[in-house]
Amino acid sequence: MDDTRLQQLLTQYFDNTIARADCEDLLNYLDEGSPSIVAMAIDQALETNKAAGSSFNPDRKKNVYSRVVSEIHALQTTPTQQATPHKLYTFPWMKIAALFMAALIVGILLYENQQSGADTSSIASESENSITLPEHNQAILTLADGSTILLNDSLNGILAHESGVEIRKAEDGSIFYEAKQASVADGTINYNTFSTPKGSSYQILLPDGTKVWLNTATSIRFPVAFTEEERHVSLLRGEAYFEVTHNASKPFSVEVNGSTIQVLGTHFNVSAYADENRTTTTLVEGSVNVSKNGKTVLLKPNQQAVVDELTGAIRQSDADVRSVMAWKNGYFRFDDESIEGIINKISRWYDIDAVEYEGEFNERFTGTFQRSKNIAQLFSYLEKLAPIRFEIKERRVVIMK
């Protein structure tokens, strides 16, 4: 679907003039399309609606979260409703529910805030000089001799020569290794470590051509050249997505928290943040074996294995791949998430020193949020969905009833 067609359908959707067949096409595209493209298109459509003088009834703002979530759950569990698009927009707030299901729980609330003429919140003004994202995407490359190279978006070209390998940074921001000689004379295996700080993610191309995307606060260790019979890398902490180059003669494996992920030529995601006490491997394509303490499970696409790091138990289940991969596409995605769970996830991205809770919080939230946006915007949206208040004091967040 081209941009012009998408904008046309979104405009018709918001002013409730969309035809039934067109509505079905739009919702299917929103559900399956690129999150970044969808978000930009909806932002533009909302701005067009604003300029045209449209507005949401203030009564619909009250308890919008509970109404939206109940409708989403109904749509997800009742196939006949999904197949009858007019039921999605019989009432205006149901249109919002369908859009939230696709990608934009916070975008609608941003639009409501703009329509009401509200000024920038006190949260946003406080956070401008406290909890901010880095100006450039950053990473640290640690060479075998212990020296480090600080990387950012503005640094391109040759970074280092090591063990007959040239390490380069491409114009698209990725790091790649290019062999300049066949082997290392003394047979020594040199290792590099690649790390991302909070607020940054990075892509690297391993010496065998395997692509790896590193999420925030992630560190991976790998040989400068895969000279042995097997290819081994270690995920030291954090989360990474792998697209492994197939080589039947050199099996690929990832070591993480004492677990081994044996790869058979595949795409998969591994999350191993220390604060979760678990390692989660989600398979997108191909197959992998996940093993620990003599226990092994074989994953098929759209499945995941969760290793409990306290007991060593491995639990296998179906996976919501789009939710798992939201970080790679530049989003947070929350699915019936508690406020504690949301704060735990965003604390890895935004540089938050401490969090204090004043009161009990039973609310749960569903939706997506662009990681490039200011944390104060997320807090502002959450305050509109539930009786919760946020304060930012330097790099500390206080959450109150």
Q: Count other Cβ atoms within 10 Å, centred on residue 33.
A: 16
In DSSP notation, 288-327 reads EEEEETTEEEEE-TTEEEEEETTT--EEEEE--HHHHGGG
Give the residue with greater pLDDT, 78 vs 251: 251
**Residue 2 and residue 6: Cα distance in Å, rounded?**
6
Mean pLDDT of the chain: 76
Lowest mean pLDDT among 186-200, 229-243, 302-316: 186-200
**Residue 110 and residue 312: Cα distance in Å, rounded?**
44
Highest mean pLDDT (candidates 56-70, 125-139, 281-295, 331-345): 281-295
Write out pLDDT tens, residues 291-338. 999 999 999 999 999 999 999 999 999 999 988 999 998 889 888 889
**Residue 166 and residue 153: Cα distance in Å, rounded?**
19
Which tokens belong to 163?
Answer: 């063990």
**Residue 262 and residue 252: Cα distance in Å, rounded?**
6
- Tell me, rounded to whole angstroms, the distance of Cα 282 from its chain centroid: 14
Confidence band, pLDDT 50/70/90 cuts, at residue 171: confident
User: Would you say residue 52 has pLDDT above 80?
Assistant: no
Give the residue with greater pLDDT, 11 vs 222: 222
Burial 183-214 (b: 16+ CB within 10 A, else e): ebeeeeeeebbbbbeebbbbbbbbbbebbbbb
Contacts of 250 (CB under 8 A, 6+ apart): 208, 226, 228, 229, 230, 231
In the block, residue with structure tokens 């859009």: 99
pLDDT reported for residue 329: 86
